[in-house]
Structure 1
């Protein structure tokens, strides 16, 4: 039995490009915890995340569509007890009123809080003055809790501290998470905590703990970060949980789970380990047999982390009935009712589907110019809707259209009656305009390459290789200014990027 955690940086992109199918086929997961799904409720029916063979617990951002979000998938034959959204327990139990006809749904008129229902996982702390901030964080879709017979699974996406305000959110989130975990452990429950913590625990988990290579020196020591100290209270030497990866691989170096795609840091393995699976020591010693990082699986700027478990969840036929699932399950969402399918059907969605649609539009467009009587009956609205696809075809379609126009003979004159002269000349005019625009774009590209090649690209001093031209995107006096840097990805040693830097100047005759 395998449990995975993965920050996918957009679940829709993962499905559309086929990475999700590759991931499932290679790993055969039993439980998957996704972070940063960036999927909204209105897209649930399109992607059908509520599949028949998987149960999904999805927490979406309620304040900013397409932001944050976590999702927990588990095989449908695993028995479930309860499920809850958020850490505070003060979110409105909106899903309890979706289908009030079922007896096990809450019958209260007003929508209650999770902590007020029997479907809450429980073990809440008392209300505090900062409960408003914590509820605001919960509305961003940063936590989904599922209780299985032998353990409670926390799937979290910790905020990134880019400012003083977000630092306060992050510290409060980790602090509240620690309190709730301790309460669950004190009640005798096993706890598994996984997700993206946006924090590297120790120096061994960071490629550049002092910020020297990235030219971003820290104002304070690596260990003095308040959020890092609080995080280590959860899984440190005296913490309630264990870092499962370090439990099995205490001395492994260069074990990272996140890289900067803009600098190509994954090629040189210049990253950080900020994705974790934590569990209480008794559970690890009794049930966990292995833990590792799958850095060869792509689709995001993060990679999956998994633990191998003994079969702690027995198969239960009763769990197949939707009525026995917690109300928070996606199979109860009104958006998903009637659209549920198997996971294999979901995995068929890939980027190749878009290519097939483009190729299918070609024959219809060519057939319209061959003056077939079947094409004559196409309405003008349909022709207008295909106009954008017509211009997206390759040059071979334009050449085919022109050749058909030139080889037009009297044998087709009888079929011209179905076309008005206006429609005919409009179609021919469109094809000629398309060819003209294509030739213009090609000539423009040739001239651009000609002048670009006349200006020599400087070579970096560290590797004597051509540099890359970059643009300053950070706000300030140099915004929009171009500069040259080493063409290699950022990293350590000679294989990484050297410190070459040169401002781009059109008037500089040296290059």
Structure 2
């Protein structure tokens, strides 16, 4: 089973850079998007062979998530019961064997201006996925907006009080893993350095590989033996993020 997740940083913009063909050629069983930045009447994407589920932000041109699946889910839910649900940050698809949760975690913003909101979201999200996990295994993907360890970004010391690498955010991510989830990439490649999923558009960051690993595939502990591979498609352009790919024996 192949699962792909990609923060596209504007679906309409990335469609001009070959996204439609990438989706088709990926032949993913499940394909998740974050930061779609559009409304329902602005979708022009052809998704032949997929059941499609969108979560739109009330604010136009902002946030938004989507989940495409070859297999029709048993049920689909948008939101986690949090005030930020109006930003279209999650889509959850229930399948017979597991849940898949596509998530775009809110950024803490410059000078950590939104950190309190972010902490509240992280706690609510952990509670939500744990409630799902009490029923069947859960697979979580998306831009979780945190580099968990120093190995997950190029310049850790310089970013210790910046959004995405504050100790508060890292501790929340640790708590999520401790609740019974596995960071599939780091599980398979515990010491691999220099592999990132996001690069700033400034300072030639991608050219210099001055990046952050903030896009993830997490799975419930019960799925540990099903993990075949977890990769980051760093060669694919079009967004400031790279697609992250999970292969499961499921």
**Which bin holds the TM-score, normalised by the shorter protein?**
over 0.9
Structure 1 43/260 Cα, relative in aligned 2: closer, same or farther at 3 Å? same
- Please list the CA deviations of residues 101-144 of structure 1 after superposition, one character each: whole Å capped at 9, or x if unmatched: xxxxxxxxxxxxxxxxxxxxxxxxxxxxxxxxx22x10111011
- Please list the CA deviations of residues 371-398 of structure 1 after superposition, one character each: whole Å capped at 9, or x if unmatched: xxxxxxxxxxxxxxxxxxxxxxxxxxxx
Q: Which residue of 2 aligns with 1:12?
A: 12
Q: Which residue of 2 aligns with 1:3?
A: 3
Q: 1:199 aligns with which of 124, 146, 152?
A: 146
TM-score relative to the length of structure 2:
0.93
Cα distance between partner residues in 2 of 1:17 and 1:186 = 41
Q: 1:244 aligns with which of 184, 189, 201?
A: 184
- Whether 2:228 is the aligned partner of 1:289: answer yes
Residues 20 and 45 of structure 2 are in contact (CA less than 8 Å); yes or no, is this contact kept in structure 1? Answer: no
Residues 79 and 149 of structure 1 are in contact (CA less than 8 Å); yes or no, is this contact kept in structure 2? Answer: no
Q: Which residue of 1 aligns with 2:73?
A: 80
- Whether 2:94 is the aligned partner of 1:147: answer yes
Q: Which residue of 1 aligns with 2:172?
A: 230
Structure 1 79/71 Cα, relative in aligned 2: closer, same or farther at 3 Å? closer
Residues 154 and 212 of structure 2 are in contact (CA less than 8 Å); yes or no, is this contact kept in structure 1? Answer: yes
Give how far 1:180 is off. Answer: 1.3
- Please list the CA deviations of residues 394-413 of structure 1 after superposition, one character each: whole Å capped at 9, or x if unmatched: xxxxxxxxxxxxxxxxxxxx
Residues 33 and 73 of structure 1 are in contact (CA less than 8 Å); yes or no, is this contact kept in structure 2? Answer: yes
Cα distance between partner residues in 2 of 1:4 and 1:223 = 24
Give how far 1:247 is off. Answer: 1.1
Cα distance between partner residues in 2 of 1:231 and 1:293 = 19
What is the number of equivalent residue pairs in this alignment?
248
CA RMSD of aligned residues (A): 1.9
- Stretches of 4+ moved more than 3 A in 1? 217-220
Residues 160 and 167 of structure 2 are in contact (CA less than 8 Å); yes or no, is this contact kept in structure 1? Answer: no
Residues 23 and 297 of structure 1 are in contact (CA less than 8 Å); yes or no, is this contact kept in structure 2? Answer: no
User: Within 5 A, what are the aligned runs for 1:62-77?
Assistant: 62=58, 64-75=59-70
Cα distance between partner residues in 2 of 1:139 and 1:304 = 25
Structure 1 251/218 Cα, relative in aligned 2: closer, same or farther at 3 Å? closer
Cα distance between partner residues in 2 of 1:142 and 1:297 = 24
Give how far 1:165 is off. Answer: 5.0
Q: 1:53 aligns with which of 44, 49, 66?
A: 49
Give the unaligned 5+ runs of structure 2: none
Which structure has more helix as a fraction of its residues? 1
Give the SS at the match of 1:176.
helix
- Please list the CA deviations of residues 270-325 of structure 1 after superposition, one character each: whole Å capped at 9, or x if unmatched: 1000001100122121x221111110011100001111122x3xxxxxxxxxxxxx
Cα distance between partner residues in 2 of 1:71 and 1:284 = 25
Which structure has more strand as a fraction of its residues? 2
- Please list the CA deviations of residues 148-173 of structure 1 after superposition, one character each: whole Å capped at 9, or x if unmatched: 11110110000111155521221111
Give the SS at the match of 2:224.
helix
Give how far 1:20 is off. Answer: 3.1
